Each structure stands twice: as structure tokens, then as C-alpha cells.
A and B are shown apart, each in its own frame.
Chain A
Amino acid sequence: MPDALGWRKKFAVLVPSTNTSVQPEFDEMRPPGVTNHISRIRIPNIPLRSDEDFKRLIELIVVAQMEAVDSAMSMEPDRLVLGISAESFWDGYSAAKKLKKDLEDYTKLDVSMGSDAAESALALYGAKRIGVITPYFPVGDQNVKRFFEEGGFKVAKMVGLKCESPVAIAHVTETQLRDAIRAVDGPDVEAIVQVGTNLAMARLAPQAEIWLGKPVIAINTAIYRHALRASGISDKIDGWGPLLSVH
């Protein structure tokens, strides 16, 4: 018998335990018959003041990740969705692909994750020169830049918001995000990409897109779109921009 609510697909969604944006955003996007099931990667809400602190945060996530995978597997999901993006960009393009393959081998499920999903979204538009917004410290920004440039993109402009803790990422306002979007825009920028899944930008991105007349990709929308479309769910959903309403 199928699951009464998730009769089309059940997605296991991994998030850092500090994350408060992925669940509300993904759950607002879900079509009928698809359900999301959050599994928290337990990390402390450490203060972030430097690149060293940020690297430590990534290490904490890597260490705690498999426990959250095992926990989510007990509800028999159809797909694994990473609601954490920094790790998916770490150490460049081939490391990102390896992370995906390792998780797929371990769970025997297909995986959707931020780096891959952003790449797929950009491919829909054929955009190559991009502006990037992150909540990270410079070491995180460098890893994101490396992934995109090894993947054949050119990062023309970048803003890292240097949020002071994982929880504080969710406190960044739409006004601050609007200013960041303006800062990474320019005549030579073909598309804007926001990474960092705890930055709540899914509602703002389609507004920015209309205003600027170019693709503005919020990472959560890109990840959720990837999970749906790769699962054969082609429902078009309004309110989140063309990524979900057209593509």
C-alpha cells in the first residue's frame, strides 16, 4: 500500500539541526502526493567569526551527517534531498560529484543537492557568467566559486554575508538580500545564484527576476525543483518563479 499522504513520492530531506528555512520553504512548494521528511544533522549553533570557525562548521556537519541519513531511511524514502548546500560545493567540482555518488551508493537512492541543482538550473537558461550570494565566510565563498568555475561558469561578482552563526543565517532580511542582489548584478552578469539553504530567499527570487529581467536562482527552489523533476513529477507550481512554474 502507498503512503496515504506521500502516495507519489516521499523525500528524505537532510538539514543541519540549526536550519529553520528549508522545511517551511520546501513544504510550501510540495505538490499533492509528495511529502517531505526532515532529518536533522545535529550540529551546535557555534559562533562564526572567521574562516576557521566556518571550516569547523563544515567538519561538524560531515561527521554528523550519516546518523541523519540512517534516521531518515527508517521511513523508507524514495529520494534523498540535501537541504544543506555548503558541503555540496566543498573542495571543487569532482568532490561534489563524489559526495553525491557516495550518498547514492550508501542509500541506494537518487540524490538531489544544491551544487548539482544550481548547475542544472543555470543550464536551463544557458547562463555562464553569474553573480553569487552566500551567507558564508570567504572560505565558503572560495569553495562555491571553485565549484562553478571548474564546472565551466564564470563568477563575475560575489557577496558573502558572513553570518555570525548558523541560526543567524535565517535572520537575514529581504531588504538585506535585495541589497546583496543589487551588489552582484551588473551588465555582464547573466544570472544570479543564491546559495546557503538557511537564507530564506525563495519568495524574493522571483520578484528580483522580474525586476532585473534575468534569472535569479534561490538554492532551495533549485534543489526542490531538481528533486521533483528527477523523480518524474512535472507539476507546475506558481509563486516561486519560472524554475517551478515553467521548467
Chain B
Amino acid sequence: MTDVLGWRRKFGVLGPSTNTVVQPDFDDMRPRGVTNHYSRIFTPNADAVSNETFRAGAEVIAGNTLDAVRSVMTCSPDHLVMGMSAVTFFDGEKGADRFSREVEEVSGIKISIGSDACTAAMRTYGGVKRIAVLSPYWPSMNTEVARYFGDKGFTVVRDKCLQCRSWTQIAEVTTETLRTELKALDGDDVDAIVQVGTNLSMVRLAAAAEMWFGKPVIAINTATYWHALRTNGIKDQVVGFGRLMSDF
């Protein structure tokens, strides 16, 4: 017997307990017969984020990830989707591979992660070498993101981190702020713009920016969900979230 709502795939979605954007974003993108099942990664000390504490805070989230994996495994999902991106950029390509491997060993199923999903998205668009990166993070974390993309053969030409002071504050960044930042990041010297940080609400703005700039603008939630769908053979195209979901 199959699940009556999730008759094609059930996705276990892992995200920080402080995150309020991944669930609504993913649920707006899900095709019929695919259901998402959010599992919260307990995230304390939400109000003390700074350049010095960012990595330690994110490491706590990483450490609690396997608990959330075990919890969501009880609903028998077919695939896992990581709705927290910072930890998937730590320590470059090797760190990303290690993270996926650990989760896959515990769960026995595959996982889609933000860092590798952005890489897959840029390769799918094609012709992307030089990129700009927008994040809600702090400079110490943007360095990690640039290192990861460097390992994958991309050059981060420019980056901006919004330095949000709490995990929940990330979800309070407005479309106006993000639009201004995107305009500042764009230039003839970048082939694509990548937004990381899953609690930043940017999936619809990215689609608009992509149209206006005439180049790929990749919101990490779109890339991660797209990766989960396509690696599961779900080819349904979804409109309203940019070319990644509608054309590829």
C-alpha cells in the first residue's frame, strides 16, 4: 500500500527549528503525489549570532541533525532534503561529501543538500563560471561558501552577507532589501547570482531577478527542492519559481 497523498514520493525535510521559510517554500513547489515532511533540528541560542559565533552556532545545528533524521525516518520517507544550507558548505567539497555520507549512512536513503544542489543547478543552466553570492550570514561563513564553490570550479567574484543577528531574524529580511542587494551584486563580470541561507525568503524574487537580469539567479530553496525532485525522477515542471523549475 502507498501513502494516499504522497503516492509518488515522500520527502523528509530537515530544517532548523527556528526556520519559518523552508516549509512554506517547499510546499508551494511540490507537485501532485509528492509530499514534504518537515523535521525540526533543535536550534538553541537563536539570538546570539555574530561573526565569531556563527560557525559554532551552525555546528550545534549540524550536531542535532541526526536526531531530526531519526525522527522523520519513522514516517518512512523515500528521500531526504536538507533545508539548512550553512552546514553543507563547511570545509569545502570534502565537507559537503562528508555531511551527505553521514546522513545517508544513518538513514539508508539519499539526501539532497543545498551546496551540491546549487552546483548541479549552475551546471544545468550551463556557461556559469563567475558568480556573485548573497547570504544572511557573516563574513566568516561567506568565506566557507566561497571555498566550497572554488572547489567546484566556480569563482566568487563578489559576495554580500546581511549579518542577521538571530536565526529567526533571517526570515524578516524584506523583498526590498534583497532586491537592492541583488542589484548591487550584479555586473557584467558575473554569469549567475546564488542566494544561500534557507530562512531567507527569496524564491519568487529570484525568478523575477532572473528575468530582469537575463542570467540565472538561484535561490537555494528552489535549487534544493529541484534537486530532490529530479534525482527522484520527478520531472514535473513548476511555474513561478524561475527557469530551473519550469525549464529543466
Q: What is A's interface to B at a CB cutoff of 8 Å?
A: 1-6, 10, 17-21, 23-25, 27-28, 30, 35-40, 42-45, 68, 70-72, 74-76, 166-168, 170-174, 200
Contacts and interface: CB of A to CB of B under 8 A. Distances in A.
B21 interface: yes
A35 to B, nearest CB: 5
B237 interface: no
A6 B24 contact: yes
B24 A40 contact: no
A173 B175 contact: no
B37 A38 contact: yes
B5 A200 contact: yes
B71 A75 contact: no
Given A10-B20, A35-B20, A74-B17, A173 B4 contact: yes
For the complex of A and B, 8 pairs with smallest distance between CB atoms: A1-B172, A171-B1, A27-B27, A4-B201, A38-B38, A42-B71, A71-B17, A17-B74
A18 B72 CA distance: 7
Given A24-B6, A173-B4, A37 B36 contact: no
B40 A4 contact: no
Given A45-B74, A171-B3, A6 B20 contact: yes
A24 B5 contact: yes
A3 B171 contact: yes
A75 B18 contact: yes
Nearest to A174: B4
Given A3-B171, A74-B42, A38 B23 contact: yes
Nearest to B39: A40
Contacts of B75: 17-20, 45, 167
Given A74-B42, A171-B3, A173-B4, A24 B76 contact: no
